[in-house]
């Protein structure tokens, strides 16, 4: 790895929510609770040697070093080295940071959706409440789908053809056809007949 003078700043580590910015002056830095680290974070939930930052081909990469409370990128726990772009948020345990820098090189054009490894992608797939609760849902039946085309015509059986025709009582079978309800014209004619004067004798 090429040597750089201490005066060259390769990026600035900025705590989310405020705090002193930390200049990144080396191509590889170690972050942890021990004072010997390049970036010393004196918090109980930070491991002695928690994670490392490396500038590779113009892009900062973060790797967890077997920490107790994990290292995250945009809220997802990482299990291998990952890029950290300027708008990404990476976490050391519960302590969140952005890195201010100008990315360059081929890694800078990688779609961020392709950055995460299989372990993180599996974590993203767990989106239902049952899965997040750890309940096995593999044996769940597949969701039913609607038929793509409806039948052209729905066949309806007549009363004579119905399967339950044999069990209908005779009085229902022999019931007369319903009388059609009277219309407004029928009602007016009835009123006219009522008010018509009786014929003269």
Q: Cα–Cα distance between 20 and 15 in angstroms, integer?
A: 7
pLDDT in tens, 52-90: 999 999 999 999 999 999 999 999 999 999 999 999 999
The token pair that represents 156 in the structure block: 């309806």
Which residues 6+ apart lie within 8 Å of 91 measured at CB?
70, 71, 72, 73, 75, 97
Which position has the token pair 């009388």? Answer: 179
How high is the mean pLDDT of the chain? Answer: 75
Output the pLDDT for position 18. Answer: 87
Task: Return phi, psi of residue 140, to 5°.
Answer: -65, 135
- Whether pLDDT at 121 is above 50: no
Map residue 57 onto helix, strand or coil.
coil
Task: Give per-residue pLDDT as tens, 18-35.
Answer: 889 999 999 999 999 999
Q: pTM for this one? A: 0.51
d(CA 99, CA 82): 13
Least confident piece of the model among 60-74, 89-103, 180-194: 180-194
Q: List Cβ neighbours of 60 (8 Å cut-off, separation of 6 or more).
A: 11, 24, 53, 54, 83, 84, 99, 101, 103
Comparison of pLDDT for 62 and 147, the residue scoring more? 62
């Amino acid at each position: 790895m090429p040597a750089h003078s201490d005066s060259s700043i390769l990026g600035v580590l900025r705590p989310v929510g405020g705090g002193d910015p930390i200049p990144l002056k080396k191509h590889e830095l170690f972050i942890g609770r021990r004072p010997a680290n390049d970036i010393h974070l004196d918090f109980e939930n930070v491991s002695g040697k928690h994670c490392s930052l490396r500038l590779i081909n113009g892009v900062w990469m973060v790797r967890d070093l077997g920490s107790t409370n994990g290292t995250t990128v945009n809220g997802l726990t990482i299990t291998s080295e990952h890029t950290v772009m300027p708008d990404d948020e990476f976490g050391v345990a519960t302590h969140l940071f952005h890195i201010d820098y100008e990315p360059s090189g081929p890694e800078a054009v990688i779609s961020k959706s392709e950055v995460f490894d299989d372990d993180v992608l599996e974590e993203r797939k767990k989106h239902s409440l049952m899965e997040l609760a750890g309940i096995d849902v593999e044996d769940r039946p597949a969701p039913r789908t609607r038929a793509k085309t409806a039948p052209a015509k729905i066949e309806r059986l007549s009363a004579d053809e119905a399967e339950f025709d044999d069990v209908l009582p005779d009085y229902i079978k022999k019931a007369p056809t319903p009388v059609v309800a009277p219309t407004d014209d029928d009602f007016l004619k009835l009123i006219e007949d009522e008010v018509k004067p009786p014929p003269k004798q």
